[in-house]
Amino acid sequence: MLKGKLLHPEILRVLGMSGHGSKVLIADGNYPFLSGAPPAAFMVFLNLMPGIPKVTDVLTALVSAIPIEAAEVMVPPDGVKQAIHDEFQKILPADVPMTSYPRLEFYEKVKEPETTLVIATGEQRRFANLLLTIGVIKA
């Protein structure tokens, strides 16, 4: 029996195989899951229904399970930070830097071979995609 917040067996398996520098995408319901990820990335579809689960729900579980080194987000063409990005910052450890990229540049970042896991959510807020870089466990 597991005691942590993260219980999903497939997500735990892929995180266990991923290491420092691997990336995890938590994607909103509008993300092009099949064409917007590297072919080797493992995909988990949690998008049960609109709004469930939210990206922030998945982020909360992941923060409890892995060290996070960096975060990257997608911004609209005008470059304006979205309200959900503030929610991400509140959930992420305080020392995790967050970098913003326009949509097409963000897609290219996700398609890099370091992306090992893509998690589809039912999130309906736009530009709610979050790419996390796995860090190291500090002694």
- Cα atoms found within 13 Å of the Cα of residue 38, Cβ hemisphere only: 16
pLDDT by residue (tens digit) across 41-97?
Answer: 999 999 999 999 999 999 999 999 999 999 999 999 999 999 999 999 999 999 999
pLDDT tens-digit readout, 108-134 = 999 999 999 999 999 999 999 999 999
pTM (2 d.p.): 0.96
Number of alpha helices (DSSP H) and beta strands (DSSP E) in the chain? 4, 6
Chosen CATH of 9-48+56-134 out of 3.40.1650.10, 1.20.810.10, 3.40.50.970, 3.20.20.70: 3.40.1650.10
Tell me the domain boundaries of the chain.
Answer: 9-48+56-134
